[in-house]
Amino acid sequence: MHNFRVLVVDDETDFLETLVKRLNKRMLDAKGVESGEAAVDLLKREVFDVVVLDVKMPGGMDGIETLREIKHIQPLAEVLLLTGHASVETSIEGMKLGAFDYLLKPMKFDDLLMKMAHAFEKKSSHDKKIRDAKIHELTRYPSRVFDDE
């Protein structure tokens, strides 16, 4: 498995900490934050490949709002939603807004890892396409190397 950057957003600190620990043990570069606002702040500063987002969070931004912000700040980051049984509808709404997939909480850790890997693969292939397109463009118009991005 490739090493990639993961951001976990969940209001339950105990859950968050343990999950981050386990992910780090799997050689992933994982970080955890406890609210939507904190996630948005961090995403403005650092680049993540996959975001695991709890859709039900008390206070401030809820899951859907956070998802919108994430897609606004880092459109290429893939988002996995964590949801309870009662909020499957919210997950569906989230996927319409561009989330990659959803998981019912409590989830099997292996399922989470698998879906994260899929998400990262998708993101990587997407990144590759963008890179290829850029290379193609640069080989045609090398002078554009000096253009500001």
Partner 1 sequence: MNRKTIPLSPYYRSLTRNMVLLVIMISFTPMLLVTVITLDRFSASHHEKVYAHLGELVLKHKQNIDSFLVEKLQNIRFLADTIDFDQCGHQNMIEGHLARLQRAYGPVFVDLGVVNEQGQQVAYTGPFRLEEALYSDADWFKRAIESRYFTSDVFLGLRGAPHFIISARKTCQDQKWIIRATIDFVEFNRLVEKIRIGKTGFAYILNREGRFQTKPIFDFTPDLDIYNRYFSTLERMGKEVEIQERLDSYGVRSIYVSALLKGGDWLLVYKQASSDAFSDLRNAQTIAIVFFLLGGVAIVAMAIWMSGKMVRRIATSDQEKEIMNEQVIETGKLASVGELAAGIAHEINNPVAIMVEEAGWLQDLMEDGAYKSDADIKEFERALDQIRTQGKRCKEITHKLLSFARKTDSRIEDFEVGHLIEELVALSAQRAKYSNVELITRLEPKLPAISASQSELQQVFLNLINNALDAMDKTGGTLEISAKQEEGQIVIDVSDNGPGIPRANLARIFDPFFTTKPVGSGTGLGLSICYGIIHKMGGEITVKSTVDVGTTFGIRVPAKTDEAVENKAVSATDTCN
How many chain residues interact with partner 1 (CB under 8 A)? 22
Name the residue with tokens 């919210």: 90
Pick one of 1, 2, 18, 125: the residue that binds partner 1 (CB under 8 A): 18
In 3D, which of 92, 40, 88 has the Cα closest to residue 61?
40
Rounded to whole angstroms, the maximal C-alpha distance in the chain is 55
Stretch that binds partner 1, among 54-62, 70-78, 125-133, 137-145 (CB under 8 A): 54-62
Residue 136, token pair as written in the block: 């193609």
Pick one of 34, 68, 73, 84: the residue that binds partner 1 (CB under 8 A): 84
Pick one of 5, 31, 68, 105: the residue that binds partner 1 (CB under 8 A): 105
| Of residues 11 and 124, the one with the C-beta less far from partner 1 | 11
| Of residues 24 and 125, the one with the C-beta less far from partner 1 | 24
In 3D, which of 54, 91, 98, 95 has the Cα closest to residue 73?
98
Pick one of 78, 87, 100, 123: the residue that binds partner 1 (CB under 8 A): 87
Contact 61, 46 (CB under 8 A): no
- Whole-angstrom distance, CA of residue 112 vs CA of residue 97: 20
Q: Please report, as ranges, the residues that interact with partner 1 according to CB under 8 A.
A: 12, 14-15, 18-19, 21-22, 25, 56-60, 62, 84-87, 105-107, 109
